[in-house]
């Protein structure tokens, strides 16, 4: 629409110069070129995104098991089943708990590490690189390592804690603490990313502000609370939003470390629930309904977080 | 007096920072050192109580086992991971950069609507497309192939946005030189835009590559034979089949799987860290 309007506006001006055909040619040439540039992207996007999303919505109203030929329309049946499934709700609860705890933990450790390595000390660069190393490992390697480290009897974490008089903890076998254990592992694994974002944010804070604070006699704590943290707020919000979205989709940690969400279903997350229903029980219709529900939860959370960011911008 | 006092307080403050950094460094390194160290133990030695952190008699038995055990194919899995992640990265660059050029520099009907649609799709999580894409690949008989690992995520909207943002900041003068030489749109893109975008293309490549290399869910559902698995999937499988019997072999597998990425990181450490900040991507 907008393109046509500008085209017509310009046509009026240009017609005085009698260059309409040449102009028209240029304009169409540009549009044709643009679509040629866009074509590969749009083809992939249409097939694997637009078509897939529409199929997903449609399929969520059917009952269909992959290995059986019969497919039945059941209306909102899948959604009703989902809403009434206590396993689903405990998976939602586990996932929210995990995502919130991990985001908070990674923010605190990331911020503390960023503040420490940006002090004028020797070796700051070394620590910054070191703290990013775990982030480079695949969830496969993380899973193998931590499944063993957190072993109740032979794991070295419990052995290490025993020196401080802490009795051995059943990290992965106790349903009440298994999500905390997975969150702890994930914080260890991923806090290097928020740290780097905060370091960049800290470097953007003008030095004059710190000098002004020093002249006013502010101590380190006051400088942190009244200057550093408010100015880092956009970076902190960015890390929390992206972190929450990422950690809400957690799959590898329970899949590998607690062997598919154990003990029992104590560490089932929403993606484990989806995996179990769609690729273990092969319930494709129900699986798409789960995917839609996950999308809805994430949309709501993202909207809330966007609101928070916008408020920050206005202020 | 006051001079001494400030210098003392400055020093104590430094000590606290160092103490914090050292504790954090130990927390980060301990699990890694422990893993490497225990991978040189025998099957009996890892199962003693109290646990040993360093092997009494280091042995490479577990490393020999992990490369010779018939159904542990780290070599094939690594190759699959590298080939698929490279192919995927190349495809993302090939299809996203021209599209980003169209959105940043050219006018065409439908531009605003198309852009708005792409903005909205960023909010839709990947799970929504999993099942239909899985079914499509199954119908095309592409499960268990390179195509299944590479094609579905190729229209990377995030990559498109990142490149568009960067292309918009490139001064137009650079393009005008090509126009004066009689170059068309493709020549402008090829000879003006791409040569000025080395950094952002490299940063995007690193993160698209790492994200794909480390992915578990998608390769787990679209591969189902020993020879076609990727490294993360293979590792998750040996964990469930061998962890009880051959713990040092599992740890050796984890160590070996990490070496390629660690080597890349050691060489490109500065670029990777800079890339994290400019792209805002953590690599997964």
Question: Are residues B210 and A116 in contact, defined by beta-carbon separation less than 8 angstroms?
Answer: no
Q: What is the mean pLDDT of chain A?
A: 88
pLDDT at A36 over 80: yes
What pLDDT score does B284 carry? 45
Cα of A17 to nearest chain B Cα, Å: 22
Helix/strand/coil for A63: strand
Identify all chain B residues contacting A242, using CB atoms and an 8 Å cutoff. Answer: 280, 282
What pLDDT score does B199 carry? 87
The answer to whether residue A272 neighbours chain B at the CB level (below 8 Å) is no
What pLDDT score does B116 carry? 93
- pLDDT in tens for each of the 284 residues of chain B? 444 455 556 678 889 999 999 999 999 999 999 999 999 999 999 988 888 889 998 999 999 999 998 889 999 999 999 999 999 999 999 999 999 999 999 999 999 999 999 988 888 889 999 999 999 999 999 999 999 999 999 999 999 999 999 999 999 888 888 888 888 899 999 999 999 999 899 889 988 998 899 899 999 999 999 999 999 999 999 999 998 889 999 999 999 999 988 998 888 888 888 888 777 765 44
Q: Which two tokens stand for residue A80?
A: 């009703």
User: Which CATH number applies to A80-314?
Assistant: 1.10.3720.10
Are B232 and A246 an interchain contact pair (Cβ–Cβ within 8 Å)? Answer: no
Give the CATH fold of the B72-279 domain: MetI-like fold (1.10.3720)
Q: Which of B96, B109, B236 has the CB atom closest to A140's CB atom?
A: B236
Q: Output the CA angle B58-B62-B68, nearest 5 degrees.
A: 145
Q: Which two tokens stand for residue B99?
A: 């599209």
Instruction: Return d(Cα A49, Cα A45) in angstroms, integer.
Output: 5
Percent of chain A with pLDDT over 90: 67
Could you tell me the pTM of the whole model? 0.90
What pLDDT score does A259 carry? 92
The answer to whether residue A229 neighbours chain B at the CB level (below 8 Å) is no
Q: Output the CA angle B156-B161-B164, nearest 5 degrees.
A: 125
**What ipTM was estimated for this complex?**
0.90
Interface test with A, best of B85, B108, B111, B244 (most A CBs within 10 A): B108
- Angle subtended by helix axes A86-117 and B2-38, to nearest 10: 130
Instruction: Return d(Cα A134, Cα A44) in angstroms, integer.
Output: 33
Cα dihedral A66, A55, B208, B175, rounded to 10, equals 150
Domain ranges of chain A: 2-59, 80-314
What pLDDT score does A137 carry? 92
What pLDDT score does B8 carry? 54
| pLDDT band at residue A283 using 50, 70 and 90 as cut-offs | very high
Q: Which two tokens stand for residue A172?
A: 């992965």
Question: Are residues B104 and B175 in contact, defined by beta-carbon separation less than 8 angstroms?
Answer: no
DSSP type of residue B155: S
Q: Which two tokens stand for residue B16?
A: 């606290």
What pLDDT score does B282 carry? 56
Neighbours of A143 (CB within 10 A): 29
Q: What is the pLDDT of residues A76-89, one digit of tens each?
A: 999 999 999 999 99
Instruction: Return d(Cα B198, Cα B204) in angstroms, integer.
Output: 10
Q: What is the mean pLDDT of residues A44-55?
A: 96
Identify which of A45, A314, A96, A80 has the alpha carbon closest to the alpha carbon of residue B99. A45
Q: What is the pLDDT of residues A3-30, one digit of tens each?
A: 344 444 444 444 444 445 555 677 788 9
Q: What is the mean pLDDT of residues A38-65?
A: 96
What pLDDT score does B276 carry? 80
Q: Which of A2, A113, A149 has the CB atom closest to B34's CB atom?
A: A149
DSSP type of residue A283: B
Q: What is the mean pLDDT of residues A242-267?
A: 93
Instruction: Return d(Cα A284, Cα A302) in angstroms, integer.
Output: 27
What pLDDT score does A238 carry? 86
Helix/strand number for chain B, H first, E second: 13, 0
């Amino acid at each position: 629409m907008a393109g046509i309007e500008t085209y017509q506006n310009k046509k009026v001006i240009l017609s005085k110069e009698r260059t309409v055909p040449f102009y028209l040619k240029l304009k169409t040439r540009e549009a044709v070129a643009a679509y040629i540039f866009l074509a590969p992207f749009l083809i992939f996007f249409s097939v694997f995104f637009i078509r897939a999303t529409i199929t997903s919505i449609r399929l969520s109203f059917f009952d269909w098991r992959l290995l059986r030929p019969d497919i039945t329309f059941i209306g909102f049946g899948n959604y009703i089943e989902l809403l009434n499934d206590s396993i689903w709700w405990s998976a939602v609860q586990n996932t929210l708990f995990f995502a919130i705890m991990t985001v908070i933990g990674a923010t605190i450790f990331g911020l503390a590490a960023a503040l420490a390595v940006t002090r004028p000390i020797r070796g700051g660069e070394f620590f910054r690189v070191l703290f990013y190393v775990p982030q480079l490992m695949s969830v496969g390697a993380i899973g193998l390592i931590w499944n063993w480290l957190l072993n109740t009897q032979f794991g070295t974490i419990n052995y290490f804690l025993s020196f401080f008089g802490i009795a051995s903890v059943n990290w992965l076998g106790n349903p009440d603490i298994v999500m905390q254990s997975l969150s702890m592992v994930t914080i260890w694994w991923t806090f290097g990313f928020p740290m780097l974002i905060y370091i960049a944010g800290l470097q953007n804070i003008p030095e004059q502000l710190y000098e002004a604070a020093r002249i006013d006699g502010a101590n380190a704590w006051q400088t942190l609370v009244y200057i550093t943290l408010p100015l880092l707020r956009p970076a902190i919000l960015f890390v929390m939003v992206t972190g929450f979205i990422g950690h809400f989709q957690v799959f590898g940690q329970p899949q590998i470390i607690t062997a598919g969400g154990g003990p029992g279903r104590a560490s089932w997350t929403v993606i484990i629930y989806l995996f179990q229903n769609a690729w273990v029980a092969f319930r494709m219709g129900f699986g798409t309904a789960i995917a839609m529900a996950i999308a809805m939860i994430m949309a709501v959370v993202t909207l809330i977080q966007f609101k928070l960011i916008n408020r920050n911008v206005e202020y | 007096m006051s001079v001494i006092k400030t210098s003392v307080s400055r020093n104590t403050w430094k000590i606290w920072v160092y103490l914090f950094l050292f504790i954090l460094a130990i927390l980060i390194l301990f699990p890694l050192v422990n893993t490497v160290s225990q991978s040189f133990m025998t099957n009996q030695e890892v199962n003693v109580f109290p646990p040993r952190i360093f092997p009494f008699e280091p042995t490479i038995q577990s490393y020999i086992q992990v490369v010779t055990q018939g159904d542990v194919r780290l070599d094939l899995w690594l190759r699959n991971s590298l080939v698929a992640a490279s192919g995927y990265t190349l495809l993302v660059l090939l299809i996203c950069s021209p599209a980003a050029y169209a959105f940043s520099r050219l006018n065409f009907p439908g531009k605003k609507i198309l852009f708005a649609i792409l903005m909205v799709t960023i909010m839709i999580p990947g799970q929504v497309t999993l099942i239909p894409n899985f079914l499509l690949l199954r119908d095309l008989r592409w499960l268990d192939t390179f195509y299944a690992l590479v094609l579905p995520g190729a229209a990377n909207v995030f990559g498109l946005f990142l490149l568009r943002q960067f292309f918009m900041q490139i001064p137009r003068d650079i393009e005008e030189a090509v126009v004066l030489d009689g170059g068309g749109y493709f020549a402008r893109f090829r000879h003006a835009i791409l040569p000025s975008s080395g950094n952002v293309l490299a940063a995007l490549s690193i993160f698209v590559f790492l994200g794909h290399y480390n992915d578990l869910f998608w390769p787990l559902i679209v591969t189902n034979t020993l020879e076609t698995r990727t490294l993360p999937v293979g590792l998750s499988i040996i964990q469930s089949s061998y962890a009880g019997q051959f713990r040092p072999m599992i740890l050796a597998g984890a160590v070996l799987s990490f070496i390629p990425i660690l080597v890349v990181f050691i060489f490109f450490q500065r670029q990777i860290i800079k890339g994290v900040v400019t792209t805002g991507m953590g690599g997964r």
